[in-house]
Amino acid sequence: MPISDWFKAREGRQYTSATAGRGSDMPDGVWTKCESCKHIIYEGELAENDRVCRHCGYHFDLTAMQRIESLVDEGSFSQVDEGLSGGDPLGFSAAKPYVESLAVARERSGLAEAALTGRARIGGHDVIVGAMDFRFVAASMGSAVGERVTRAFELAAKERTPVVFAIASGGARMQEGMFSLMQMAKTSAAAARLAETGVPYISILTNPTYGGVTASFAVLSDVVLAEPGALVGFTGQRIIEQTIRQKLPKGFQTSEFLVERGMIDEVVARPKLAAHVALLLDYLDADGGERP
Amino acid sequence: MKRRFIMEFERPLIELETKLAELRTLEVAEAPELAAEIDALARDVEELHHETYAHLTPWARVQVARHPDRPKTQDYVAALFADVIELHGDRHFGDDQAMFTALATIHGHRVAVIGHRKGKTTKENIARNFGSPQPEGFRKAMRMMRLAQKFNLPIVTFLDTPGAAPGIEAEERGQAWAIAESLALLSGVRVPVVVVGIGEGGSGGALAIGFGDRLIMLENAYYSVSSPEACASILYKDAGQAETAAGCLKMTADDLVGFGIADEIVREPLGGAHNDPDVVIGAVGERVVAALDMLAGQEPGVLVEKRYSRLRAIGVHEGGEAEPG
């Protein structure tokens, strides 16, 4: 990959490493430019700091696997439903065939779908953990993502294990039409059933979280956390600007904006997230490990 | 007489029909060959009339669904329900005019009615935000769902929205939160829920009151993950491709029944419900009553379990481990 690719605008969403990690297997001599403060950062240093810029605090995008590794106790993650993947129920082909987009997404991410779920521990608490991968059709929710999320909630209810879900998504997956829209109802129903069991659910909203995912399972948690500067909302900014024909206020739809308006509980910087979630679980999952 | 609203797809036909009507006013007694030509044209126009309306494309159905004279929630409520008591407000912020909630009686069933409310005039539509609810609209609907559950009243909802309102205020007041909470509540509400798609079923704003134990769709109503315009603007970066997107999205009543998402279709008169509203409203009334009769005896626990199973079954995927439980 030519070095110029490392400096692509964030829209390009070039991920600088396919593996997570804390520096061990990083290629030497690779430098990354911070998209916010433009500082040139050594790749190894970035990885060590959970991919947060030491100069300005900018949070780089994480892949789903990087996200999980940054959140859970080391070596504790085991994936469930690894092979669960979606199809092309509408035979959708606008601009380009959906099956092609899926193939590209699988190739690029190495994942079967945009959500990754499994068992892990956070601060010693057993959890069902989930994360989403923006490289996979903008981490949009189609049948397979909806099914994985629903199964994660059902598994958590059955095993009485808390859910911690790190969310990023462009919204419902257009290419699966009504099957996608109905995943909003399906995942919300599963979240509601989990809530009835008294098993805690903590969601972490990361940049960006929009549309049908925000408006369903993402915010049906007991505690909603978000990363600094994450954009979270229902309607995307471009659509709102087109609709109201005016510029949006600075900081609109950022996690700081949302905490001010009472919509989320706390903005937590990524390096502190795991400890923050662990402490929350100490309160909400006090009987952790003692469950039958 | 009120000026007729012309949908894009019927424009060529209506231009021809207008021309034909003009020709008909000519004095043709002296020119039999002209009369014969006019008759031939009339036959062509009749054929085109049938072709135009008999097999509507998805994009044409969207236009029919948006027709200003199409029966609206308030028309169904006025014609089908007795002893209507409208209840206002969400108890938090305001009374969203884009969302209608009322207690009402249909054929002996006392129910809670929840519906998107569009206007018929520009003034009404501005007051009702063209049927696009703000967060307080969904919270108003939720307030009604809770009331219905508390007093064991089945819920009948009418879907007719282009989508939840986009905007600064909507985001500030938690549009996504309002919709998500409505979905969670509706999924577990312990009374029967009958949903009727009467016009536009736009995205999360429709879904928030748009699923339950029975989904009845009007023939030309649509229900979609996104409006065809939004889909086109995202996938093609060109809202002008909406016609193509409407076809790709598989959002018609027939599509939905095919997918097992909708249960039944109420057929409309040629050209759309606005051509004979009374017949369509009456047919909807019969189906709603039949659904309420069918669901009336069900034990609440069973009802909610079946609703969950219905949702649970929607989706096309493969692989993964055996489902838990």
Beta strand B317-318 pairing with B214-218: unpaired
Report residue B24: phi and psi, to 5°: -60, -25
Among candidates A179, A234, A249 on the partner chain, residue whose Cβ is nearest the Cβ of B164: A234
Strands B264-266 and B214-218: parallel
DSSP string, A59-110: B----HHHHHHHHSPTT--EEESTT-EE--TT--EESEEHHHHHHHHHHHH-
**Residues 6 or more apart from B168 whose CB is under 8 A from it?**
A240, A244, A248, A249, A252
- Shortest alpha-carbon distance between residue A222 and chain B (Å): 12
Range with lowest mean pLDDT among A112-126, A202-216, B6-20: B6-20
pLDDT for res A242: 85
Chain B residue at shortest CA distance from A179: B315
Using DSSP bridges, classify how beta strands B99-106 and B82-86 pair: parallel, antiparallel or unpaired: antiparallel
- Low-confidence stretches of chain B (pLDDT beneath 70): 1-2, 29, 322-325
* pLDDT of amino acid A29: 60
| Tokens representing residue B163 in the block | 């989508």
What is the structure's pLDDT at B101? 98
| Closest C-alpha to A136, from A97, A101, A175, A90 | A101
Chain B: residue whose CA lies nearest to A152: B324
Assigned token pair, A47 = 């990885």
Residue written as tokens 């994936």? A79
Query: From the CB of residue B92, how many other CB atoms can be counted at a distance below 10 Å?
Result: 12
Nearest to B204 among A189, A196, A215 (CB): A215
pLDDT tens-place string over residues A11-67 = 444 454 444 444 444 455 688 999 899 999 998 899 999 999 999 999 999 999 999
Gap between the Cα atoms of B211 and B219, Å rounded: 18
Chain B closest CA to A234's CA: distance in Å? Answer: 5
Identify the pLDDT of residue A8: 41
Which residues of B fall within a CB distance of 8 Å from A196?
A: 188
In angstroms, the CA A136 to CA A67 distance is: 15
Could you tell me where the beta strands, DSSP code E, fall in chain A? Answer: 31-33, 40-42, 78-80, 85-86, 93-94, 96-97, 115-122, 125-132, 163-169, 201-209, 223-226, 266-267
Q: What is the pLDDT of residue A26?
A: 43
Cβ–Cβ of A185/B211 closer than 8 Å? yes
**Look-up of token digits 């950022």:** A254
The reported pTM is 0.92
Tell me the chain B residues in contact with residue A92 when contact means C-beta distances shorter than 8 Å. Answer: 248
Is residue B225 within a helix (H) or strand (E), and if so which, with residue range? none
- Interface contact B236-A143, CB threshold 8 A: no
Q: CA-CA distance, A180 to B315, in Å (whole number)? A: 8
Q: What is the pLDDT of residue A244?
A: 86
Give B319's contacts in chain A (Cβ within 8 Å).
Answer: 81, 83-85, 112
Residues B235, A239: C-beta atoms closer than 8 Å: no
Say how far apart CA A49 and CA B155 lie, in whole Å: 52
**ipTM field:** 0.95
Q: How far apart are CA B255 and CA B246, in angstroms?
A: 12
Q: Decide if A183 and B314 are in contact by the 8 Å CB cutoff.
A: yes
DSSP-derived 3-state class of residue B154: coil
B250·A90 Cβ contact <8 A: yes
Asked whether the beta carbons of residue B225 and residue A172 sit closer than 8 angstroms, the reply is yes
Across the A:B interface, residue pairs with CB atoms under 8 Å apart total 212
How far apart, in whole angstroms, are the C-alpha atoms of residue B153 and residue B27?
Answer: 64
- Token pair listed for A227: 């990363």
The answer to whether the CB atoms of B235 and A178 lie below 8 A apart is no
State phi, psi for A49 to the nearest 5 degrees.
-100, 35
Residue B57: CB partners within 8 Å, gap ≥ 6? B9, B243, B246, B247
- Rounded to the nearest angstrom, the gap between the alpha carbon of residue A149 and the centroid of all alpha carbons in its chain is 12
| B11: Cα within 13 Å, side-chain hemisphere | 4
Which two structure tokens, joined as six digits, stand for B54? 């008999």
Give the mean model confidence (pLDDT) for residues A58-79: 96
Per-residue pLDDT at A289: 45
- For position A95, what pLDDT does the model report? 76
User: A210 pLDDT band (50/70/90 cuts)?
Assistant: very high
Token pair 């097992």 is found at B260
Could you count the other beta carbons within 10 Å of the beta carbon of residue B178? 30
pLDDT for B320: 80
A88 → chain B, closest CA residue: B316
> Angle of helix A64-71 relative to helix A270-284, nearest 10 degrees?
60
Q: Is A261 within 8 Å of B244 when comparing Cβ atoms?
A: no
Inter-chain touch B203–A86, beta carbons under 8 Å: no
Query: In 3D, which of B191, B195, B203 has the Cα closest to residue B165?
Result: B203
Q: Cβ(A198)–Cβ(A239) under 8 Å?
A: no
Angle between helices A177-197 and B175-188 (to 10 degrees): 70
Nearest CA in chain B to A176: B249
Q: Which residues of A touch B186 (CB under 8 A)?
A: 185
How far is residue B236 from each of residues A178, B229, B233, measured CA to CA in Å? 19, 10, 6
Q: Which of A82, A216, A263 sits opposite B174 (nearest CB)?
A: A263
Dist. CA A248–CA A253, nearest whole Å: 10
pLDDT band for A10, please (50, 70, 90 cuts).
Answer: very low
Interchain contact, B235 vs A112, CB within 8 Å: no
Q: Is the peptide bond before B32 cis (omega within 30 degrees of 0)?
A: no
Say if strands A78-80 and A93-94 run parallel, antiparallel, or are unpaired: unpaired
Please tell me the predicted confidence (pLDDT) of residue A286: 84
Contact at CB, B183 and A216, closer than 8 angstroms: yes
pLDDT of residue A288: 62
DSSP character at residue A195 = H
| Residue B61 DSSP SS3 | helix
Residue of B nearest to A219 (CA): B177
